[in-house]
Homo-oligomer: A and B are copies of this chain.
C-alpha cells in the first residue's frame, strides 16, 4: 500500500484532516465567530482550503513568504501575526498594492511609529491590531497598560482592533486549566478593546487563538475571530493535553527499519531528527513520547514503542523504559509510522505531503518553506 514511497516521508491522512477541520469550523462558526486558520502549521493551499471549507478565506500567517504564497493562490484577507518592523513593510505594501488586505500587529509605541512611518512612505494604509499579553508567554502589552492608548493614538485610522495568543495553554496539565487560560485570554482582549472603544477608537477586531483554548473555551463573548492551526493535524502534545485523541493525529513519518541492536533492544530506522524534527514537546508532559510514538504501517500504535533517540538520519526505536522487542516483527526494510510531538515542527522538515485516502497513497500536496 505504502511500499512505493521512498522513506522517510511525511504522510497525511486526509480523512482525519477533514474531521479535525470540520470539528473546529463547526464549533467556531456556531459561536458566530470568524475562523482565521493559522497556515503556518501546514503551509499548504489544500490543507488551508480544507480548514476553511472553501477555496479561500481569512488566514493567519507567521512569515511574509506565507502571505505572498497564499495571496498568489487566491487568499486575500491575511493577518501577519508576528510583530512588524519597518524593513518588512515594503513586501507587505507590495501585496497591498496587488489587492491583498494584509493586517499587521504591533505591541509598542516604538513599533507603531516604525510601522506608520514606513507605510506612509510606501503610500499604503496597513490595518493594524495591537498585540495584548494575556498570559506572560511572549509579546504584547498588558491589557490595562497605558501604552495601549498611546499606540492607538499613533495608529489612528489604521487601528483595526486587538489580538492575543494564549501560548501558555500548551503548558496546562488539565482541561480545567485550559478553560481558565481561555477565559483569561478572552478577558484580556475584551477588556483592552472596550477601553479603546470607550476612548473613541472603533477597533472592530477582537482576535484570540491557540488550539487548546479554541477547543475548550466556554465563552467567546466579545470575540470576533479565532486563530488556530495545530488542530488540523493534531499531535502528541495536544493528545497529552486532552485536546485530541491519539487516533485524531493526521500526520506521521513513514520510516524504514534499517538495523537491529539486539543487546540493547533497539530498532534503528531511517527517520532521525531531519525527518521528525528535534521537538521534544512531550518531555514535560505526564507521558514523555521521546521523539515520537511508533505505529505500524496502518497507523496503529505498537504497544509502547517510542523513538528514544534521534540523530540526523537515524532514529532509535525501543520500548518505553526498556523491555523485550520481538525483532522478528521488524525485519530490515519493514515500514513503521512515527506520530509527531509537534505537528508544526515535523511538517516543517518536509517539502510535500503524501496524502492517504482510506489508507492508500493518493496524490502529493506541496508544502513550502522559507521566509
Contacts from A to B (Cβ < 8 Å):
3, 6-9, 40, 62-64, 82-88, 91, 107-108, 110-111, 114, 133, 136, 138-139, 167, 256-261, 264, 268, 270, 273-275, 277-280, 309, 311-314, 316, 331-333, 344-345, 348-351, 369-371
Contact = CB atoms under 8 A, between A and B. Distances in A.
25 contacts: A6-B87, A8-B371, A40-B313, A82-B258, A82-B314, A83-B258, A83-B332, A85-B257, A85-B332, A86-B332, A87-B256, A88-B256, A110-B260, A110-B332, A138-B309, A138-B314, A139-B314, A273-B345, A274-B348, A275-B371, A277-B278, A280-B280, A348-B349, A350-B370, A351-B370
Where chain A touches its partner, the secondary structure class is loop
B111 A313 contact: no
A261 B139 contact: yes
Contacts of A63: 313
Contacts of A9: 371
Nearest to A350: B370
A139 B268 contact: yes
Nearest to A83: B258
A111 B258 contact: yes
Given A6-B91, A85-B258, A351-B370, 17 more contacts: A3-B87, A6-B87, A6-B371, A7-B371, A40-B313, A63-B313, A82-B270, A83-B268, A85-B256, A85-B257, A85-B332, A138-B268, A139-B261, A274-B348, A277-B278, A312-B344, A350-B370
A332 B108 contact: yes
Contacts of A84: 258
Contacts of A88: 6, 256
Nearest to A280: B278
Nearest to A271: B371
B87 A40 contact: no
Nearest to A277: B278
A232 to B, nearest CB: 15
B345 A313 contact: no
Contact of A311 (B167, B312, B371): B167
Contacts of A274: 348
B8 A333 contact: no
Contacts of A260: 108, 110
B311 A138 contact: yes
